Structure 1
Amino acid sequence: MVAQQEHLDCSPQQIEQMREVFVRQQAAFRSDPMLSAEHRITLLKTLRRMIVQEKSALVDAIRVDFGNRSADETIVAEILPSLHNIDYTVKRLRRWMKPSRRSVGMLFQPASARVVYQPLGVVGVIVPWNYPLFLAIGPLVSALAAGNRVMLKLSEATPVTSQLLKTLLGQLFSEEMISVSLGSAEVGVAFSQQPFDHLLFTGATSVGRYVMRAAAENLTPVTLELGGKSPAIISSTVPMAQAAERIAFGKAMNAGQTCVAPDYVLVPRTRLDDFTTAYREAIQHLFPKLEDNPDYTSIINERQIKRLAAYILDAEQKGAQIIPLFPALQGRRLPHTLILNPSDDMEVMREEIFGPLLPVVTYERIEEALHYVTERPRPLALYYFGDDRKEQERVLYQTHSGGVCLNDTLMHVAQDDLPFGGVGQSGMGHYHGHEGFLTFSHAKSVFSKGGINSARLIYPPYGKTIQKIIYWLYLR
């Protein structure tokens, strides 16, 4: 609380410092607009060494900010994916940077065409609180790989982690290359108003709308990763224990405070009791107890606890069946809770949950489940459990979502060779791997000619010659 109050008190000074850094980064980019592959790889390897050397400090900082989060969970969900991302990028970066040869039409020969990939300039990244390391490092790696200068705005909800990252990055990189801004929402507003060459935001849809409006004032292109209500569809034939275990893992990671966590489950009506039993067993296997369990992640703060408690109360008052899977709240450890028979007017079905609550909706036929998904805003992720290939194809091509897992949850995000991003209200644009390099690069078209200019044949004055050429090349 003290750290958060300090951020609030000095916001005007932080805003001015942030603006000054932005100007310096612009000047630094103009003076060296095309960093070599060696320079970029050195930056990435330096970032990797920092994460490895400061692993324990980063894990401890995140644990303090959350109240409790298992060191192993932080390593699995934040440290290892960040390192793997860097290794994947370093291995492929020189190939990504090579110009791409393109074809030239007959009418324009002799000539050559290629696409060269240039850095955009200064990239802004607004980082959320739920994965304060992974969601800072991922965009940072992509932006650095593309040769940009980067400004990070870290969350005020994780003050210890944010301050540690600011300190560590400040020790290794100049502010003209990587800078970190801390502070309240006021600083975030000012940050989004800077005329970045690209702005990436991860967070709530409501805030994403503001970020996009602010960016539009400067014609700044944006990548928005917004989340939404990601469904999990259970087929009529999949082994229930298998599906329930994998859904439980996806919901349990970070206590459901994950943008791609399963937000609700669609299950055949005849299999509802089987799912309820299997899900309870899966959760209680992952966490034999709630009290003093070091593996059970806390909700980030009291504000989020109250929000989730209000969802439960609202659902109960409107007729849903509430099934807590553990005894009462332990500190900020909120029990995993099933919500059966939810209706569309319940807050838990209208808002992204971002916590360990799981509504369960029943259906009769797969067409009904698909209709339920498609008549709602497009989610960031969709999960389908079943081995019928034809039904898998129906789910893939009759629904829209940012990404899909078949018979799993979350794991598509960890694949560096897959783009990550939303669609519709769950976001726009994507990054990770090669797509991240492309997002933060300008693909410049280059057309080259020598001394011979066959195109003179189509110069004015026009007459029968050009008509014959056009007919011979295209119309015959």
Structure 2
Amino acid sequence: MKLPPLNAVKFDALDNHSKQQIHLARETLVNQRKAFNAQPYPSEKLRKQQIKALHRALIKHKDKLVKAIEADFGHRSTDETLLTDILLSVLDIKYNLKHLRQWMRPQKCGVNWLFQPALARIMYQPLGVVGIISPWNFPVYLLISPLVAAIAAGNRVILKPSEKSPYCNRVLQEIISEAFLKDEVTMIEGGPEVSQAFSELPFDHLMFTGSPKVGRKIMQTAARNLTPVTLELGGKSPVIIAPDMPINSAVERIIFGKCVNSGQHCVAPDYVYCPENKLDELISEFKRQFTQLYPDIYNGDYTGIVSDEHFGRLKHLLKDAKDKGATAIPLAPTEPKSTTARNLTTVDTPKTTIQQRIMPLTLLTHIQTNMSVMKEEIFGPILPIIIYKNLHQIIDSIQASPRPLAMYILSKKNAFAQQIMYATHSGGVSINDAGWQVAQNDLPFGGIGNSGMGSYHGHQGFLTFSHGKSIYRRGWFNTAKLMFPPYRNFIHRFLYRWYLK
């Protein structure tokens, strides 16, 4: 196969590791394409063997993954890693194994009586070689989940995880190397330059999870090769508290979705619409429940911010909001605390003093639309609260904003939720909950507009990484010849009379 030429000037300016990884990506694509062409429709047995091998390797190295992710974050709650990265990955694996045979069966389709006797069906064929670019915030789950979907569909895969999770990447390399041959699945590492070169390769499908800003670049680059893309991009996901919703229940339904991973995930509640007469009650209830969940945010259950850069960005959002009139209400003491890293030597991390970049959940009131916190996805433990008088005010605001990945509606009345759902667009909706729609394998997960393109999870993931090939088979008795020329015979006159009206 012919690969696009490298930009010699840009390539020569890279460090040796980046050059090696780019060469490896290009070489791997060629080798995987050859291997795929030699076996273009892997059997159900082989696909399940590959997925089971991944499962075994994942469970074997789960403790190392926990320590590695903690090292990457400075501090990451062990239980949050087990629940959101490891457990969700295992559930995804088991769901695919359970349903793969059913998904692989050709789908029977109807044939219009005019064209009988004939058969029609859809054969789900692997695409070929799939590229997956995954983020740092859930470095295991957001790599494993699309990988499992691509393997279930019968593809070869090249992975490119985020350079912001280097310790986790080392363990993932071990897992991938143990579970797969290089011409089945390979992992490439490196920074933005490697990601750019990676996205320029002529994959049969490219999936990217990350920010809308980078997603636009990925799509633009992939278009040069007519490579189809799936983009999972996030956005500002609103929470709407109905006037009839008890405030204690409302906070209970959304607080964990906002606090898990310190809000560093794409479906985190981004801002809240609160009835104007319930603002004080909402703030009081957030304080009470946050203290109940996290009596000490330095005790291990509360996750830190992933990097100094991201920590600085969040502090800038707070400062900008306060400078423009917002009131900030941190729900716990904000003094930073240093601690000695736990024993992380199993992933070759340094035994040294690390800075826990801890930021408690911070509420913001007196919000103005010109604040940066209302213009960009927060991706952290900051929660603006906007008071409202009527539902039309909310709908008009949401309609005027980029379409979010998720929307959270808290109400006892179904009519309230229905009115919002039919008047607005979002990737998905969760009613009286926040965040756990991601864990439902039967629900497709994906955005719309600014929040993404395409979807995956469960059966939808299998379909995303497959080509539904249409197959039409004519019977031995060929009725189609009745419509052949010369035209205007009895059959044509009958068809025109009864159907063209």
- TM-score bracket, normalised by the shorter chain, equals over 0.9
Which whole-Å CA distance do the structure 2 matches of 1:301 and 1:151 have between them?
26
Give, as a single letter, the amino acid of the residue that structure 2 aligns with 1:307. Answer: R
Q: CA deviation at 1:435?
A: 0.5
Which whole-Å CA distance do the structure 2 matches of 1:179 and 1:110 have between them?
47
Which position in structure 1 is the counterpart of 2:324?
318
Counterpart of 1:194 (choices 198, 201, 207) is: 201
Which position in structure 2 is the counterpart of 1:357?
382
Which position in structure 2 is the counterpart of 1:273?
280
Deviations 1:128-162 (A, max 9, x none): 00000000011001101100001110110000101
Which whole-Å CA distance do the structure 2 matches of 1:203 and 1:434 have between them?
22
Which whole-Å CA distance do the structure 2 matches of 1:463 and 1:384 have between them?
60
Q: Is the deviation greater in 362-371 or in 30-39? A: 362-371
Contact 1:62 1:161 in 2 (8 A): yes
Which position in structure 1 is the counterpart of 2:343?
none
Contact 2:21 2:188 in 1 (8 A): yes
Which position in structure 1 is the counterpart of 2:467?
442
Which whole-Å CA distance do the structure 2 matches of 1:475 and 1:187 have between them?
57
Where do residues 327-342 of structure 1 align in structure 2 (5 Å cutoff)?
Answer: 327-330=333-336, 331-342=356-367
Which whole-Å CA distance do the structure 1 matches of 2:436 and 2:102 have between them?
26
Deviations 1:404-425 (A, max 9, x none): 1111100100000100000110
Which whole-Å CA distance do the structure 1 matches of 2:425 and 2:335 have between them?
36
SS in 2 for 1:263: strand
Is 1:171 the counterpart of 2:178 in the alignment?
A: yes
TM-score of the two chains, using structure 2 as the length reference: 0.92
List structure 1 segments (4+ residues) > 3 angstroms apart after TM superposition: none
Which whole-Å CA distance do the structure 1 matches of 2:108 and 2:497 have between them?
27
Which whole-Å CA distance do the structure 1 matches of 2:500 and 2:379 have between them?
59
Is 1:118 the counterpart of 2:125 in the alignment?
A: yes
Which whole-Å CA distance do the structure 1 matches of 2:15 and 2:101 have between them?
43
Mark the runs of 5 or more structure 1 residues left unpaired by the alignment: 1-6
Deviations 1:202-252 (A, max 9, x none): 001000000000010011111100000000011111111111122211110
Is 1:205 the counterpart of 2:212 in the alignment?
A: yes
Contact 1:329 1:335 in 2 (8 A): no
Which whole-Å CA distance do the structure 2 matches of 1:284 and 1:370 have between them?
33
Which position in structure 2 is the counterpart of 1:225?
232
Deviations 1:3-35 (A, max 9, x none): xxxx96510111011100011111111000000
Deviations 1:28-52 (A, max 9, x none): 1100000011111111111111111
Which whole-Å CA distance do the structure 2 matches of 1:308 and 1:182 have between them?
27
Which whole-Å CA distance do the structure 2 matches of 1:418 and 1:189 have between them?
31
Which whole-Å CA distance do the structure 1 matches of 2:244 and 2:286 have between them?
16
Contact 1:203 1:225 in 2 (8 A): yes
Contact 1:284 1:325 in 2 (8 A): yes
Where do residues 377-392 of structure 1 align in structure 2 (5 Å cutoff)?
Answer: 377-392=402-417
SS in 1 for 2:360: coil
Counterpart of 1:309 (choices 315, 332, 352) is: 315
Where do residues 15-414 of structure 1 align in structure 2 (5 Å cutoff)?
Answer: 15-290=22-297, 292-330=298-336, 331-414=356-439
Which whole-Å CA distance do the structure 2 matches of 1:184 and 1:92 have between them?
36
Contact 2:160 2:195 in 1 (8 A): yes
Aligned CA RMSD, in angstroms, stands at 1.3
SS in 2 for 1:10: helix
Which position in structure 1 is the counterpart of 2:5?
none
The 1:186–1:329 alpha-carbon spacing in structure 2 relative to 1, beyond 3 Å, is: farther
Deviations 1:449-476 (A, max 9, x none): 1332111111122232332341476358
Q: CA deviation at 1:334?
A: 1.1
Counterpart of 2:482 (choices 443, 457, 469) is: 457
Which whole-Å CA distance do the structure 2 matches of 1:152 and 1:447 have between them?
36
Mark the runs of 5 or more structure 2 residues left unpaired by the alignment: 1-13, 337-355
Contact 2:126 2:155 in 1 (8 A): yes
Which whole-Å CA distance do the structure 2 matches of 1:18 and 1:167 have between them?
18
Which whole-Å CA distance do the structure 2 matches of 1:434 and 1:114 have between them?
18
The number of aligned residues is 469
Which whole-Å CA distance do the structure 2 matches of 1:46 and 1:377 have between them?
41
Q: CA deviation at 1:289?
A: 1.6
Q: Is the deviation greater in 53-62 or in 299-308? A: 53-62
TM-score of the two chains, using structure 1 as the length reference: 0.96
Q: CA deviation at 1:389?
A: 1.3
Which whole-Å CA distance do the structure 2 matches of 1:19 and 1:447 have between them?
37
Contact 1:238 1:387 in 2 (8 A): yes
